[in-house]
Amino acid sequence: MSVPDASMKHAAPLEAFLQSFAGTTWDMAEVFSQLREDAPVVYVPILDMWVVSRYEDVVVALRDVERFVQPVGVMGEVPAEFAADLPGGYALSHTALTNANPPDHTRIRKLAQKPLTPRAVLRYEDMIRGVANDLVDRFADAGRADLVQQYAFPLSVTVMANVLGIPSDRHEDFRRWVLGTFELMVPTLTPQRRAELARDQVEFSAFVRDTIAERRAAPGDDLISGLVQAREGGEPGLSESECLGVVAQLITGGFETTQGTIGLALNTLCEDRALLDRVLDDPGLLPSLVDETVRRFCPARGVFRDTTCDVTLHGQVIPQGARLFVLIGAANQDPAQFDCPFAFDVDRDPGVMRRHVGFGQGIHKCIGIALAQLDIRIALEVLLSRLPGLRLVDGEDRPLAMGFVFSTPQRLVCAWDHHTTAGA
C-alpha cells in the first residue's frame, strides 16, 4: 500500500493528536479544530491509519456500509489451548451487530432492539434508582469521594449486570469479564496475560450460554429473556451464537461510554455552578444535558472502519484495505454543523442537537441510546439531589483513561456540604 507522508502542515495537529492519547488532554477542541482545518483526511504512519475529522466525511464513513466496513478480530487470536472451549471465538466476535452486514445485521438488529426501546427500558428505572441510592449511601457521610471509582464505574457495571439478569453473587465475575474483554483489545499483551484473559472468556461464554438456555426454558423480566423471546413475523428468533454476540456487544458498547458520560457531565456541572443550579431547579434539563455531554465531550471519540475499495475523500485517495479512525468527537464540534460548537449549551435547538454523531449514525447507530439516557439521567438526578453543594476538590488530579477510543475521566474527587437520605 503506498501512502503519503504527513506534510509539515499536518505535523502540528498530528503531534497534538497523538499526545492526547497519553490521557492528559481533557478537552480535545483545539486539536480537533486543527485537524479539521489543516488535515481533514490524513494518513498517520505511526498508527498506520487514516484519521477523518470533518462532519461531512465522518457521516459518509458511518453511513456508507458498502465502502467502509467494521474491522474484525479486534481482540486478536484465541490462544490455541482455548480454541476448543470457545467455538466461534470470543463472545464479542460472534456475528451479531457491530460485526454484521445487511441482510444479517438488519434481521439481528430488529430482534435485538425489541428489549431496548425507550418504552421497554422504563422497567429498569426503579432498579437504577436503587443502585444509585445504595452507592451514595456508602460514601455520603464521608463528605468527599472519587465519583468515578465510587459511583459512575460501579453503577454502570451493576446496572448492566442487573439489566441482563445476572445474579448478585456473580457481579464480581461479571466485572472481571467486562474489564478483561477490553484488555484483550490491547495489542501489546504478554502471552501469559492473554492466556489468563482467554480463560476468563471461556468462563464468560459458558456463563452466558447457560443463562441463555435457562431463560429460554423460564423467561424472566431481564434483557437476555427479552432477546431469546424476540420474534419478527413468523421468522425464527436469534440463534444461541447471535444471542451470545449481542450480549457481549451490549456489554462492551454500553459500559465505558455510560460511566464516561456520567463522569464528563459531573465534571462539567462542577465547573459551571450556574448550570448546576439551573439543573437543580429544573431536573427536566437533564436529558438535554446528557445529549450535550455526548456531543461536546464525546466519550467514544472515534470508531474504526476498513475500506473495501479505493475511496476518495477530500481529494485524498484512501486505498482499499486501509483502516480509518473516524473522529466522531471532531465531527460533533464542526462549526459547519453547530453554532458556537465549543460552548456547552443545553438550550440548543433539538433539531440541531439530533445531528450530533456521538451515538454514531446509519445502521450501526447505538442500539442502547434509550438505556444510556435513562441510566445517566437517573445517576445524575440521584447524586445531585442527595449531595448539595457538590464541587471539585482543589489540587486533586483528574486523569483521563489512557487509550485510543475512549476519552473518559478515571478519577473525579468531589466534596459536598451535607447530604440527604434516599427519597427525602
The helix-helix angle for 240-271 and 171-183 (nearest 10°) equals 90
Stretch that binds ligand HEM, among 164-172, 293-301, 334-342, 383-391 (CB under 6 A): 293-301
Q: What's 152's DSSP letter?
A: I
3-state secondary structure of 24: coil
- The contacts of residue 339 (CB under 8 Å, 6+ apart) are 352
Question: Which residue's CB is nearer to ligand HEM, number 51 or number 366?
Answer: 366
Residue number with the shortest CB distance to ligand HEM? 368
Place of cell 469479564: 177
H helices present in 218-357, as ranges: 223-229, 240-271, 273-281, 286-297, 328-331, 350-353
Could you say whether residue 257 binds ligand HEM (CB under 6 A)?
A: yes
Stretch that binds ligand HEM, among 29-37, 125-133, 255-263, 276-284 (CB under 6 A): 255-263
Could you say whether residue 249 binds ligand HEM (CB under 6 A)?
A: yes
How big is the site for ligand HEM, counted in residues (CB under 6 A)? Answer: 25
36, 194, 348, 364: which one contacts ligand HEM (CB under 6 A)? 364
Question: Which residue's CB is nearer to ligand HEM, number 140 or number 412?
Answer: 412
Surface-to-core class of residue 201, CB atoms within 10 Å of its CB (0-12 exposed, 13-18 middle, 19+ buried): buried
**Smallest distance, ligand HEM to C-beta of residue 417, A:** 29
Place of cell 427519597: 423
**Smallest distance, ligand HEM to C-beta of residue 148, A:** 15
Which of 340, 331, 344, 264 is CA-nearest to residue 296? 344
Could you say whether residue 371 binds ligand HEM (CB under 6 A)?
A: yes
Question: Which residue's CB is nearer to ligand HEM, number 60 or number 415?
Answer: 60
d(CA 394, CA 388): 18
77 to 116: interface string for ligand HEM, x by CB under 6 A:
--------------------xx----------x-------
Could you say whether residue 359 binds ligand HEM (CB under 6 A)?
A: yes
Question: Which residue's CB is nearer to ligand HEM, number 43 or number 359?
Answer: 359
367, 390, 400, 414: which one contacts ligand HEM (CB under 6 A)? 367
d(CA 51, CA 35): 9
3-state secondary structure of 310: coil
d(CA 150, CA 112): 31
Which of 23, 25, 236, 197 is CA-nearest to residue 110? 236
Which of 423, 326, 343, 349 is CA-nearest to residue 60? 326
d(CA 49, CA 81): 32
Stretch that binds ligand HEM, among 132-140, 231-239, 292-300, 402-410 (CB under 6 A): 292-300
Question: Which residue's CB is nearer to ligand HEM, number 51 or number 140?
Answer: 51
3-state secondary structure of 389: coil
Stretch that binds ligand HEM, among 47-55, 143-151, 177-185, 364-372 (CB under 6 A): 364-372
**Smallest distance, ligand HEM to C-beta of residue 367, A:** 4
Asked whether the beta carbons of 75 and 183 are under 8 A apart, the reply is no
Could you say whether residue 324 binds ligand HEM (CB under 6 A)?
A: no
Near ligand HEM in 171-190, by CB under 6 A: none
Stretch that binds ligand HEM, among 264-272, 297-305, 343-351, 416-424 (CB under 6 A): 297-305
20, 261, 307, 332: which one contacts ligand HEM (CB under 6 A)? 261
d(CA 91, CA 202): 9
Site residues (vs ligand HEM, CB under 6 A): 62, 97-98, 109, 249-250, 253-254, 257-258, 261, 294, 299-300, 303, 328, 358-360, 364, 366-368, 371-372
